[in-house]
Structure 1
């Protein structure tokens, strides 16, 4: 049996990964928009394509599911 700080670490990391992945899936445009400035001082906003947004949403859900499965596995394997 592992001490409590290790169990907390093995529980907190998958939860943080799942939260970040779900944030990426929910708000992909805010996470990937860029603003550039040219030498003449004008600004330009760079937005990702719709296919990239869709893939970010899908991968965010997949990564969150894997992280939650890992959390379940931690409490199943390490009682």
Structure 2
């Protein structure tokens, strides 16, 4: 049996990864929009394409599912 700090590490890290991945899946435009500034001082925004947004959503869901699977597997393999 592992000490409590190790168990906490093996649970906390995948939960943080799952939270970040779900945020990426839920708000892909906020996570990928860029604000630019030209030499004359004007600003503009660069927005991702719809295909990239869809790919980010799918990737976020898959990564979150794998991270949550790691949490469940840790409880199964490390009692």
Q: TM-score range by the shorter chain?
A: over 0.9
Q: How many angstroms apart in 2 are the aligned matches of 1:42 and 1:20?
A: 32
When normalised by structure 2's length, the TM-score is 0.98
Gaps of at least 5 residues in structure 2 are: none
Q: CA RMSD in A?
A: 0.4
Aligned residues: 79
Question: Which stretches of structure 1, 4 residues or more, deviate above 6 A after TM superposition?
Answer: none
When normalised by structure 1's length, the TM-score is 0.98
Does 2:15 match 1:23?
no
TM-aligned CA deviation for residue 33 of structure 1: 0.5
